[in-house]
Amino acid sequence: MKKRLTAIILCICTGLCLFMSSAAETAALQGDANGDGKVSARDASLVLRYSVGLTEEMTTRAKINSDINRNGKMDAGDAALILRRAVGIAALQSVPALDTTLYNKLAAHPLHDKDYTEWISRTIQYLSAGDRKNVLYAAANHLGKAYSVLNCSDFLKVAFADAGIDREVYPGKSSEGVLGWFQSNHPERLHEIASWPVEKWKPAGVVIYLNPDSGKANHLALFVGVIDGKTIIMDSGSEDGVRLSELWEYAGWVPTYYADPWG
């Protein structure tokens, strides 16, 4: 009887801990940069100091809480919004509970380390329901697949197809075929990166790499977002397969075009 009572108490305690953990996750307050559970002028000051390089002491959770305008970085705009909330001029929302299914998929294939996993997960999660979000969710299902199974163009083709995107929106061709398709069908949706800064990119847009010597497209990647100043993509590489990575270039592989299937 005593053992049974102990087991019941343990079950209740475990359940309460899980509930409290979930509630704490849901109740994480936007603007709480220093983790004290409230929003004050101190939070605005910390974000402003971080944005100008006067401090580097911010956890990933603090950065998630502080990125009010969801542009992937802490800046003066976030500090101003936090200060307005602190003095009662504006209201901020709670950070939604984490999508653990998506998080676990990303955590199994981290970008350098797991510090960015939650941020990348939330970047996708915060997107409004629709095609862009669906494509990124579909793409995450293929993380870790070998290049021999899904090369770079096949990966994007499958991600768009899995999300139910019509081939009139994204053609699902080879790297060179995708570039040619946009040039012929939607030149207004194709932008040279040199004159189209990443601030204008939208999630689930397509990065087209060119060989500068031949002028031919040789790689495709899916844009995820800008995370703390890092441009994050999903692509399939010959060594890693489908992966998360930062935007890269070397030798005959240069990110040259950004194409937005939806304009």
Last residue of a domain, one of 86, 120, 137: 86
230 within domain boundaries: yes
pLDDT of 6: 32
Domain total of the chain: 2
Pair 108, 77 in one domain:
no
Residue 137, classified by CB atoms within 10 Å of its CB into exposed (0-12), middle (13-18) or buried (19+), is buried
CATH code assigned at 24: 1.10.1330.10
Residue 242: domain span:
100-259
Which one is predicted more confidently, 87 or 183? 183
Task: Give me the percent of the chain exceeding a pLDDT of 90.
Answer: 75
Instruction: State the pLDDT confidence band at 27, using cuts at 50, 70 and 90.
Output: very low
Last residue of a domain, one of 86, 113, 137: 86
Pair 108, 175 in one domain:
yes
Strand-pair category, 230-237 with 217-227: antiparallel
Pair 39, 62 in one domain:
yes
93 within domain boundaries: no
